[in-house]
Amino acid sequence: MPRKRSEPVFDEDNPEWTAEDFANATPVNIMAKDLTSEFLAKIPGRRGPQKAPTKVPVSIRLSADVVEHYKATGPGWQSRIDETLRKAAKLTAG
């Protein structure tokens, strides 16, 4: 493992900010409100507004082999169960 440098490394293309740089800076929330809200909406772990009606969380008991079958199909298995139930109940896509 390489030894840690005792001296700091400086990047000439990106110099350290001075007190004057900080004093002259404009906060991004003032500079570009539209960009900020768009950026915040895309932060991982944050969900944007719903485009379609949300589903209702429920707890039901299913046969182990049914759950295993759908889980084996990969991500989205719960949506596939929803689709199967909709077809069985003769409901339109929601």
Please check whether residue 14 lies inside any domain of the structure.
Answer: no
- DSSP SS3 for 78: helix
Compute the Cα dihedral for 86, 87, 91, 94 and give only its sign: positive
DSSP annotation of 22: H
Is residue 86 within 8 Å of residue 93, measured between CB atoms?
A: yes
Please check whether residue 23 lies inside any domain of the structure.
Answer: yes
One digit per residue, pLDDT tens: the chain, 94 residues? 677 778 878 888 988 899 999 999 988 777 777 676 667 666 676 666 777 777 888 999 999 999 999 999 999 999 999 999 999 999 987 6
The first and second tokens of residue 21, run together, are 């740089």
Q: Quote the number of domains for the chain.
A: 1
Range of the domain at 28: 19-88
Q: Name the residue among 54, 51, 60 with its Cα closest to residue 85.
A: 60
Please check whether residue 24 lies inside any domain of the structure.
Answer: yes
Please check whether residue 40 lies inside any domain of the structure.
Answer: yes
Please check whether residue 93 lies inside any domain of the structure.
Answer: no
Q: What's the rounded Cα separation, in Å, for the pair 94 and 87?
A: 12
Please check whether residue 94 lies inside any domain of the structure.
Answer: no
Please check whether residue 83 lies inside any domain of the structure.
Answer: yes
